[in-house]
Chains A and B, each alone.
Chain A
Amino acid sequence: MWLTLINIAAAISGLLALWMLYDWFKTDTSYSEETLTSSREGEIEAVSEKHKV
């Protein structure tokens, strides 16, 4: 039983890997590179904390 479960799990993980690659491709083709890489470090801190002690 264990060996069968391992085979099934390996097959499912193969499908999940394919799904990730598909979603990655879909995302990269649906949004501009500027949008995808627009995250900036510390943006929220810059607004919420002024470090006036």
Chain B
Amino acid sequence: MAKTSSAAAAAPIQRVSLLRILGPVHVWALGVGIVLVGEYTGWNFAADKGGTLAALIICWVVGLLYTAVAMIDSEVTSTVAAAGGQYAQAKHIVGPLMAFNVALYLVFAYTMLEVSNAILIADTMKAYIGEGFTDWHYKGIIATVIIVLATLNYRGVLMTLNVNFVITALAYLAIVVLFFSVQPWSQGAVLKLNEMVTPENALPYGWIGVIAGFHWGIWYYLGIEGTTQAAEEVRSPARSLPYGTMAGMITLLIGASLTWYVCASLMPWQYLGFTYYPLFDAGKLTGSKALETMMFAATILAALASANGCINDAARAWFSLGRDRYLPTWFAAVHPTYRTPYRSIVFLVPIALAFAFIANLGQAITFSILSGVLHYTFMSVNIMMFRNKWPLGTIRRGYTHPFHPLPAIVLFILCVVTFFAIFLGYGAQLTAMVVFYVIMSLWFHFYRYQYVRRGDQFTMPWPRPKGY
């Protein structure tokens, strides 16, 4: 017996890790899949804050913010290729407390976005079905969306992101089809931009309205940085992540501009800033039943793709925290057959359901946006520290972003503007969230960090940083 025990103890443990199976297409599907729902709802609330023209200005200025995010992220992630994305970056470049906070931002941003998507699907179905739709059906749809997608994620990352690619591509194609169906080359035929946007109503609240609109303008692109969560599951992180992320950003910039043009030309700003379904409404306003049905289906598909990607990303961030003992290691389990972080996926299901049943869409979106902007602020600091500690030429980078430090400075300034915009609309929620993160930081510093194996958490075979 003793011999058997010692033999078992001596036998090496069979390692079970996440599967390296994804390519650039899956990275694109993950990033664009998470974000595209923002064209179907959310961005248009910027028109309520500052008018239709403000929504366009924000579309491009926030596009600049996210281009900076994508470039910075691509450079750092092509070097720190690990699940957890920005969490792993923060751990190696800034330190454990920052990493813990970044992981919390990620988990909350993606879980709240998943919740928002489930609520959006239920609201859209309710609006479409009308008579006979009860609270039971509403909650049934929310539960179905969250559980079915969690099951898909549980069964494997390849199928999850293959499905995401198909439904994201269909939802994107619907925007392109709608754009060409309304004859954009012939103003007056269907589109009436000159009637909807006039010098008098273009910026009804002036430039302060433009700044206030940043809060919702983030929604055009929120989540593109989620591509980095796939870092440990792509075959060639140094190539696939920059390629998939930048291609995704280009896709979204085009999609956002087309969306604004069609919606702004069909709806007055007062309605555009109020509706939950601007593209679905645009389909209705064309008078074509086929376009209306297509945009209804595309709204559902976009929300499904987003929720699917969010489950993938939130689970990987949570899993990474467990693997480094920032949370109990129990969360760091990988399924031996499906090679997914199955306990993290299942653990986050009841949390998402609880928020989906008690929160409304505006609160859930704001929670997600706030966590996202905190995260982007970190990224601007992170890239400065990364370049200072490991200058070009000291470690191998899959991608080197141009014009450093300009993108980092632009990103930081735009984050400050967005915080101000959020404060104008949701000051109490902003303060409450910051207090929450401070309390969690204290918990981590004074209690949880004693369980962390300090040497084990730094895994990248990098040279000693400059100045250390």
A residues apposed to B, CB below 8 Å: 2-3, 6-7, 9-10, 12-14, 16-17, 19-21, 23-24, 27-28, 31-46, 49-53
Decide if B330 touches A37 in the complex (CB within 8 Å). yes
Query: With A13-B144, A39-B18, A40-B459 known to touch, is A53 a contact of B396 (CB < 8 Å)?
Result: yes
Given contacts A9-B141, A23-B342, A46-B459, 7 further A-B contacts (CB under 8 A): A2-B125, A3-B133, A19-B151, A31-B336, A33-B333, A38-B334, A42-B81
Closest to B329 in A: A37
Decide if B459 touches A49 in the complex (CB within 8 Å). no
Decide if B342 touches A39 in the complex (CB within 8 Å). no
Query: With A3-B137, A36-B16 known to touch, is A51 a contact of B459 (CB < 8 Å)?
Result: no
Decide if A7 touches B140 in the complex (CB within 8 Å). yes
A27: which of B329, B335, B396 is its contact (CB, 8 Å)? B335
Fill in one digit per residue for B311-329: 1 if any A CB lies within 8 Å of its CB, else 0.
Answer: 0000000001011100001
Decide if A49 touches B461 in the complex (CB within 8 Å). yes
Q: Across the interface, which residues of A come within 8 angstroms of B393, CB to CB?
A: 53
Decide if A50 touches B336 in the complex (CB within 8 Å). no
Q: Please list 8 pairs of residues, one from A and one from B, whose beta carbons are closer than 8 Å in the complex, sorted by A's number.
A: A2-B129, A3-B132, A9-B144, A13-B147, A36-B16, A39-B332, A43-B17, A51-B396
**Would you call the interface of chain B mostly helix, strand, loop, or mixed?**
loop
Q: Across the interface, which residues of B come within 8 angstroms of A49, CB to CB?
A: 396, 461
B320: which of A41, A46, A50 is its contact (CB, 8 Å)? A41
Decide if A27 touches B342 in the complex (CB within 8 Å). yes
Q: Name the distance in Å between A29's Cβ and chain B's nearest Cβ.
A: 12
Query: With A19-B151, A27-B335 known to touch, is A44 a contact of B15 (CB < 8 Å)?
Result: no
Query: With A36-B333, A37-B329, A39-B16 known to touch, is A45 a contact of B81 (CB < 8 Å)?
Result: yes
Fill in one digit per residue for B4-48: 1 if any A CB lies within 8 Å of its CB, else 0.
Answer: 000000000111111010000000000000000000000000000
A6: which of B140, B349, B459 is its contact (CB, 8 Å)? B140
Cα distance, A16 to B129, chains bound together (Å): 25
Q: Across the interface, which residues of A come within 8 angstroms of B323, CB to CB?
A: 37, 39-41
A53: which of B15, B81, B320, B394 is its contact (CB, 8 Å)? B394
Decide if A35 touches B14 in the complex (CB within 8 Å). yes
Decide if A10 touches B140 in the complex (CB within 8 Å). yes
